[in-house]
Structure 1
């Protein structure tokens, strides 16, 4: 009788502890949206079941005082024993980072690409032309593109659109990491966003190229105007 009770309590505690740890939207101090949480949980749960990798999203309002984002992640990741990757965003600090508790996990996805502030190779090339200070600097900037988080976070938004921007950008990055891990493990995720993930970045690229073309148009028009003035 007592053995059965004790066994039952142990099972309950194990299940309860597992349910606490299972949240792939591990912290959310910003969004508080049931659909956003559901999408993260479904994708994170499927990724873990098929690859054994736990990808957890941390949405902070602000980092603790005198703590940088990497130090915060290093302290938090001590709570997890299984292969774990943290994707962390702090709104007020305007910081995003990714940390894994095993260096081998970085071979499953491209951290530099996910966190790139540049949306496309052409944009990266143009930035390299303007901001590089040498050949090595040029190569570094020109090859750092296809970011799936920061280009979206950098877009202007009204106050009532900020939560949509944050949730869209972070889910975009979360899905990108999950899909890269799945591809590395040769598995298919049924909850992957696929083309929808790329469409949001495509929109950012269209805006960027639109500004570039508009700038070229203004430059040519100015040159033609000056030429006409000189002829007169």
Structure 2
């Protein structure tokens, strides 16, 4: 069979695209959505070009051999020689984690905030008020609050892709800001600010209701003490 230049070019193109696709969406056993992969690749490529840090997303169906997610990440990290941050999600294990190849990389992003199960400061205050424990009010989570939401049948993959892209973008934008660079493919804060405003109003109403409830309880206690 004659090996034409066109065929050779096609093979090289396919090999290049396969390599490119696997660069920042490093493993995907869950989503299999070309549009999702394209967005991750664009953002990851730009971040690496401007900061020298590779942010890789790992989407697993299940952790192998019942490994801990941190141990799996450490094994995978051996494949990379450059500064790397792994954002790893395992569907069946319901686990999410972030691991950096070197401790100094953690100064560029807030891992605790990104992985917080609480999305807004107002929500954190309400939970602390209900538990009467204000020792830890970390909020601003961009992954777990979305993962925790219920999804209708057929919308689960959308929930996974939305939450993981949200977290990926959050890490990328924090690293970029720490490095004083601007990402053209960044998600931006417009949508996040709109969502935050709605949450502030919603939880503000809840706090107001709790305050009224406490006042009413104190009123009846005071009345009871006056009559006794």
TM-score bracket for this pair, using the shorter chain length: 0.7 to 0.9
In the alignment, does 2:65 pair up with 1:65? yes
Query: Structure 1 residues 204 and 89, CA, compared in 2 at 3 Å: closer, same or farther?
Result: farther
Aligned twin of 1:161 = 155
Indicate the residue corresponding to 1:209 in structure 2: 203
**Residues 1:22 and 1:187: Cα distance change in structure 2 (over 3 Å):** farther
Corresponding residue for residue 50 of structure 1: 50
Q: Alpha-carbon deviation of 1:105?
A: 0.3
- The match for 2:140 is 146
Structure 2: give runs of 5+ residues left out of the alignment: 1-11, 218-228
Q: What TM-score results when the alignment is normalised by the length of structure 2?
A: 0.78
Contact 1:60 1:90 survives alignment (8 Å): yes
> Quick check: 1:80 aligned with 2:111?
no
Aligned counterpart, 1:127:
127
Q: CA deviation at 1:118?
A: 0.5
- What displacement does 1:63 show? 1.0
CA RMSD of aligned residues (A): 3.0
Q: Report the TM-score, using the length of structure 1 for normalisation.
A: 0.77
Q: Which residue pairs with 2:110 in the alignment? A: 110
- Aligned 8 A contact 2:26 2:56 in 1: yes
Label 1:125 to 1:59 Cα distance change in 2 as closer, same or farther (>3 A): same
CA distance in 1, matches of 2:36, 2:148: 20
Deviations 1:97-149 (A, max 9, x none): 0000110000000000100110111111111122355xxxx221x2x001111
